[in-house]
């Protein structure tokens, strides 16, 4: 089966002091001898960001980085409200930048951030993608020796495929879209989301759903065999498999999304941050980051087939050939409706 890209209409802060490193070849136009504060998720993910994205920019420009974690939207809101923004780049959900563009997050106006480089439906005035990932449906093959899941509807069939389903406690995890498709909605008709229909479908397996508070918890639950199936992001699926869970992906219907670095409003180094962002999305850095994390490059002109993925990374990469139907999560819809969905999601869980 060929890809069918269905496009919609459209934790404790940890500071790592970077060492000043201004070589003679530094690019003065990008701000040699300056430093950017980079907020992200911490852990291996942020280590990969340092290696693939930050270190090459330092080598080119002399710009150093101070790394903090976690990148929390509430902290951005507090910094902006106080008029004391200290972060220059933050790796967090694009929803916040979209919903509060120009208010809590800077609009991106550097011409080097050419939105034509990126797939349709993945950019906004306040963000561009830095990588792409999927919400991968996989199962523990050790628990299904006979018949095995082959389609998204099997996630909702607890009679034929018993066991707990591990999902992140976050409505934009791909679960709502999966529920609708499993309930008979055509993938190209998923948006605008019929939230109540999706929740009614989830009601049919609610007692089998386990809502994990973090990606780390998702991983641990699957490694400990507390669940037979899981729906989680690409990088975490890969790490979970590498940690000992015998996961097998199901390539039927999969939602895709982007990771984004955003610039909090009032960043003391907006111009330099944008130059760093443009550099990060260039092919060499995009390829290096994809190879480390197993995610896909953000740019449409980077040949994914030439990236040296490991075998396990290839296994869980939704953007390689013959991976079923992919649906990019609708950015405008989620930006407009995320508050409503979050409130309804919270009330549904306790009902």
Q: Which CATH number belongs to the domain containing residue 224 in this structure?
A: 3.40.190.10
**Do 126 and 13 share a structural domain?**
yes
What is the Cα gyration radius of the chain? 20
Q: Is residue 322 part of a domain?
A: no
Does the pLDDT at position 20 exceed 50? no
Mean per-residue pLDDT for 51-79? 97
To the nearest whole number, what is the mean pLDDT of the chain?
Answer: 91
Does the pLDDT at position 29 exceed 90? no
State both tokens at 257. Answer: 């999304």
What is the percent of the chain where pLDDT is above 70? Answer: 91
**Do 36 and 103 share a structural domain?**
yes
The CA distance from 56 to 53, in Å, is: 6
The contacts of residue 325 (CB under 8 Å, 6+ apart) are: 4, 6, 187, 252, 253, 254
Tell me the whole-structure pTM to 2 decimals: 0.87
Segments forming the whole domain that contains residue 88: 4-132+257-315
Shortest CA distance to 49 belongs to which of 311, 303, 280? 280
Report the length, in residues, of the chain. Answer: 351
Q: Is residue 324 part of a domain?
A: no
Q: Is residue 326 part of a domain?
A: no
**Do 15 and 73 share a structural domain?**
yes
**Do 228 and 297 share a structural domain?**
no
**Do 90 and 79 share a structural domain?**
yes
Band (pLDDT 50/70/90 cuts) for residue 16 is very low
Residue 27 burial (C-beta neighbours within 10 Å; 0-12, 13-18, 19+) = middle
Mean per-residue pLDDT for 24-53? 76
What is the total count of domains within the chain? Answer: 2
Q: Is residue 290 part of a domain?
A: yes
**Do 58 and 200 share a structural domain?**
no
**Do 170 and 238 share a structural domain?**
yes
State both tokens at 267. Answer: 């960043």
Mean per-residue pLDDT for 7-14? 35
Shortest CA distance to 257 belongs to which of 153, 140, 169, 127? 127
Shortest CA distance to 18 belongs to which of 45, 44, 57? 57
**Do 265 and 118 share a structural domain?**
yes
Band (pLDDT 50/70/90 cuts) for residue 38 is very high
**Do 160 and 250 share a structural domain?**
yes
The CA distance from 245 to 239, in Å, is: 9
**Do 95 and 32 share a structural domain?**
yes
**DSSP code at position 237:** H
Does the pLDDT at position 77 exceed 80? yes
């Amino acid at each position: 089966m060929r890809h069918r890209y269905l496009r919609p209409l459209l934790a404790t802060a940890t500071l790592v002091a970077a060492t000043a490193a201004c070589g003679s070849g530094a690019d003065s136009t990008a701000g040699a001898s300056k430093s950017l504060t980079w907020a992200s998720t911490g852990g291996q993910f942020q280590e990969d960001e340092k290696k693939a994205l930050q270190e090459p920019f330092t080598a080119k420009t002399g710009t150093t980085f101070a790394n903090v974690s976690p990148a929390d939207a509430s902290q951005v809101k507090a910094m902006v409200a106080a008029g004391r923004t200290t972060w220059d780049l933050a790796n967090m959900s694009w929803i916040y930048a979209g919903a509060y563009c120009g208010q809590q997050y800077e609009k991106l106006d550097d011409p080097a951030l050419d939105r034509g480089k990126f797939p349709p439906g993945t950019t906004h005035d306040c963000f561009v993608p830095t990588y792409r990932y999927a919400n991968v449906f996989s199962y523990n093959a050790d628990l299904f020796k006979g018949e095995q899941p082959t389609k998204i509807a099997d996630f909702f069939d607890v009679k034929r495929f018993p066991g707990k389903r591990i999902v992140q406690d976050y409505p934009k995890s791909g679960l709502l879209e999966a529920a609708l498709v499993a309930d008979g909605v055509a993938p190209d008709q998923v948006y605008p989301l019929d939230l109540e229909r999706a929740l009614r479908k989830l009601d049919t397996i609610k007692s089998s759903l386990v809502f994990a508070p973090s990606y780390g918890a998702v991983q641990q639950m699957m490694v400990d065999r507390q669940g037979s199936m899981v729906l989680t992001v690409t990088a975490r699926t890969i790490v979970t498999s590498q940690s000992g869970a015998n996961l097998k992906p199901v390539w039927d219907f999969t939602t895709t999304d982007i990771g984004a670095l955003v610039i909090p409003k009032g960043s003391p180094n907006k111009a330099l941050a944008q130059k760093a962002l443009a550099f990060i999305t260039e092919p060499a850095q995009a390829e290096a980051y994809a190879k480390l994390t197993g995610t896909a490059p953000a740019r449409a002109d980077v040949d994914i087939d030439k990236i040296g993925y490991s075998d396990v990374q290839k296994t869980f990469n939704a953007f390689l050939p013959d991976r079923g139907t992919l649906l990019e999560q609708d950015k405008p819809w989620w930006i407009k409706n995320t508050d409503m969905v979050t409130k309804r999601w919270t009330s549904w869980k306790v009902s």
